Amino acid sequence: MPIKSKVEQLIFIDCPDRLEDIKRIVQQLNVKRVYLICNSEEEAYLNGMGTRDQFGKLYKFIQQHKQVDLTQLPEISKYLKIKEKLLTFMIQVFFELEFVTIKDDHLKVIENPKKQSLTESTSYQERLKKIKTEEFLLYSSLNTLQQWLWNEEE
């Protein structure tokens, strides 16, 4: 059993990837007061997961261009009308599923990749968790957050 210490105040500047992280830290440190600023660099909740249409549009773009220069990501983002942070996530999903390769800042499509669902990607699953966490921490009422945080059974 971990030793509990006593902390008066704890401030979370960044939004954690998982809700359990905040709860575990608060309980282990026996914190009296918690401040949640929850800045999100990725803005996962706001940018979402990407639609089937967006993933399809990106894949078609990669297939047509054979080799995509990733240093041109801002321009590609504008052309495809997909936010840059979301586009980066989508490329990571394709890379993990071995639909594409990345070498020297160049993205290439893999011919005849193994058929897999996008949901099989670790990045996809982690983003789902991050979206759930951001939504809960940023949009829940104070009462809901307090009940969740101070309830030790969850």
- Does any domain span residue 1? no
Q: Give the residue among 110, 89, 96 at the shortest CA–CA distance from 44.
A: 89
pLDDT at 154: 47
* 37 and 105 belong to one structural domain: no
pLDDT at 6: 79
Place of tokens 């990669």: 62
For residues 110 and 10, give the distance between their C-alpha atoms in angstroms, rounded to a whole number: 47
* 69 and 120 belong to one structural domain: yes
* 94 and 107 belong to one structural domain: yes
Output the CA torsion sign for 22, 23, 28, 34. positive
Q: Which residues of the chain, if any, have pLDDT below 70?
A: 1-5, 152-154
* Environment class of 122 (CB within 10 Å of its CB; exposed 0-12, middle 13-18, buried 19+): exposed
* 78 and 12 belong to one structural domain: no
Collapsed DSSP state (helix, strand, coil) of residue 84: helix
Collapsed DSSP state (helix, strand, coil) of residue 62: helix
Q: Give the residue among 129, 143, 93, 148 at the shortest CA–CA distance from 16.
A: 129
For residues 116 and 17, give the distance between their C-alpha atoms in angstroms, rounded to a whole number: 25
Range of the domain at 16: 7-44+134-150
Facing residues of 10 across strands?
34
pLDDT tens column, 55-99:
999 999 999 998 999 999 999 999 999 999 999 999 999 999 999
